[in-house]
Structure 1
């Protein structure tokens, strides 16, 4: 059964893939983004009256609109709060007034901060202790969703992707740097990372998880973590890039990424059980698709 879905952040990395998935299956999508675009209406999440005008017939929301990571707008924390916290509040209030069926919010593992020591697998229910304004804004958005759910009956769910990569990503990203340097014949050197674990997830897998959360009739949880299923060091990521691009010359020092959290492996069994989520893009296949896209952009 098709419906009319409001998609925020439709011109962004994840939003573009969600937009394609929803349109391909026949849903009517009201796609908005601050910058607009092809088949995307320009609308900032703080433009409340415009939001209500556009969402007159909307029955559900996939909310991807946000400042998109801890590496973005680090010197403008108020912009992060305005976009991610106030913007989410506006979307939730819209859903309450319009009595929408469901709100799916794209959160982030940055909401966790550094995960508790001693855990081999990190479940969704550990305390959120973000270490950045971005992470705090995502945690705040999740708490707002919980409040609207308990007090106003909004059926909402937060999806927490790990580090998202793949076609469309233009912001700072280790995999992106490695690929671009290899394609340009440059050496990549990170002064950290050879022993630092990171959990990458391809944009297609994240978009799939969001659509699954939109479609599921009943959800027993309000938050789900999404990863690509791997837990490997940046040195191992570099080896994957070298298999795809043999000309890649990548060196690394030891120690953690100075702008990233230290996080143990996330447990994605809840998403597997409740959403039917399975990561299907291997890191090697994902690097291939990202390399092809980056080459095409050049």
Structure 2
């Protein structure tokens, strides 16, 4: 028998939980915090432990969070979660993010192991646990780059991934859909645009940090903004989305009474140029005007080179189906991010 009190579900008297894989990572930690804030009992499963930075980030809601350390490639370890917790819903955010060809060559097998084999283990857990809804965190990389920067990417466009990461994310969408069909649980795949914000940091599965991470780190440390002119075309950019909005969008999909579709883009849908980003940082932080540098190998330049340009994702379907709207525009997101970096003393 099912009963509900506020947002806490129970099955046979036991409190039901939402599993978040990758829960101590960049996007995952934001998901865990937003779900706990919304009243979910959350089980975070990640190969990395919940370190001091993670626990500080979720401190206000940590009473509703259980951190479990484990590898999603460990089939028995993942399946064992069904014995220790009553899993009702899942957001599968664990992933190996690789955007550079040399890393594809070096770590391709690991990308497949985590992004495909690990997903299969989590889907098996969902089947065993009898979950009601499974949300798979995919990526705009599933579209590939064939349409160029002038095209807005909607969910009706064919997928054409052209990287190992994009290929595995698209494969994950198809596998998730088929599992839901075969075993009778609701599922949705969510293609993220480019997130930025709190908890981005170097981890075992994220080695190249975004340009926004590099630039906000510079001003948080009191350094001048250093921009390699050769690597950053001022009018190039991405559809950057603040990580808090990303997490809240995923929560909206997880908790919606009904989902008219099983594939959504999650994005502001707004193309943001590097010129706009640097101008916004300069406005927010006096005396931080960008300083051109000519060094051939700056961290921000490597970040830029690792993310080929594509057009923005369309936000129309998610807004139409669920009424979701991002809360942070560029300036508000950067202000909140800079405040977090200062308050958490995370200036790496």
TM-score where L is the length of structure 1:
0.90
Q: 1:70 Cα shift?
A: 2.3
Post-superposition shift, 1:177?
1.6
What SS is found at the alignment partner of 1:59? strand
Q: Does 1:147 align with 2:178?
A: yes
1:102-117 equivalences under 5 Å are 102-116=133-147
Please say which of residues 31-40 and 103-112 is displaced more in the overlay.
31-40
Give yes or no for the alignment of 1:233 onto 2:273: yes
> Is residue 67 from structure 1 mapped to residue 96 from structure 2 by the alignment?
yes
* Aligned counterparts of 1:28 and 1:123: Cα–Cα separation in 2: 33
What CA deviation, in whole Å up to 9, does each residue of 1:105-156 have, x standing for no partner? Answer: 1111111111525965321121111122111111111111122233333311
Quote the residue 2:215 is aligned against: 178
Equivalent-residue separation in structure 1 for 2:189 and 2:148 (angstroms)? 24
Matched, 1:29 2:42: yes
Please say if residues 43 and 51 of structure 1, whose CA atoms lie closer than 8 Å, have aligned partners that are also in contact: yes
Structure 1 residue aligned with 2:323: 276
| SS of equivalent residue, structure 1 residue 76 | helix
* Range with bigger deviation, 282-291 or 190-199: 190-199
Are the counterparts in 2 of residues 115 and 262 from structure 1 also a CA contact under 8 Å? no
| Cα distance change, pair 181–130 in 1 and its aligned pair in 2 (3 A) | same
1:297 pairs with 2:346:
yes
SS of 1:55's equivalent?
A: helix
Indicate the residue corresponding to 2:332 in structure 1: 285
Larger radius of gyration: 2
Size of the aligned set, in residue pairs, is 296
Task: Find the aligned partners of 1:294 and 1:118 in 2 and give their Cα distance.
Answer: 31
Task: Decide whether the 8 Å contact of 2:112 with 2:168 is kept in 1.
Answer: yes
Is 1:199–2:239 an aligned residue pair?
A: yes
Distance in 1, matches of 2:98 and 2:212, equals 15
TM-superposed deviation, 1:22: 2.1
Assess, with a 3 A threshold, how the Cα gap between structure 1 residues 251 and 199 changes in structure 2: closer, same or farther. Answer: farther
Q: 1:264 to 1:85 in 2, by over 3 A?
A: same
Match of 2:119, SS state, is: helix
Distance 2:123 2:103 in 1: 24
Unmatched tracts of structure 1, length 5 or more: none
2:251 is the alignment partner of 1:211: yes
Listed one character per residue, the Cα deviations across residues 177-230 of structure 1 (whole Å, up to 9, x for unaligned) are: 222233323522242332313110001011011111111122121111111242
Measured in 2, the distance between the counterparts of 1:243 and 1:231 equals: 19
- TM-score, length-normalised on structure 2? 0.78
- Are the aligned partners of 1:181 and 1:248 in contact in 2 as well (CA < 8 Å)? no
1:105–1:287 Cα change, 3 Å: same
| Cα distance in 2, alignment partners of residues 193 and 113 from structure 1 | 21
Q: Which residue of 2 aligns with 1:248?
A: 289
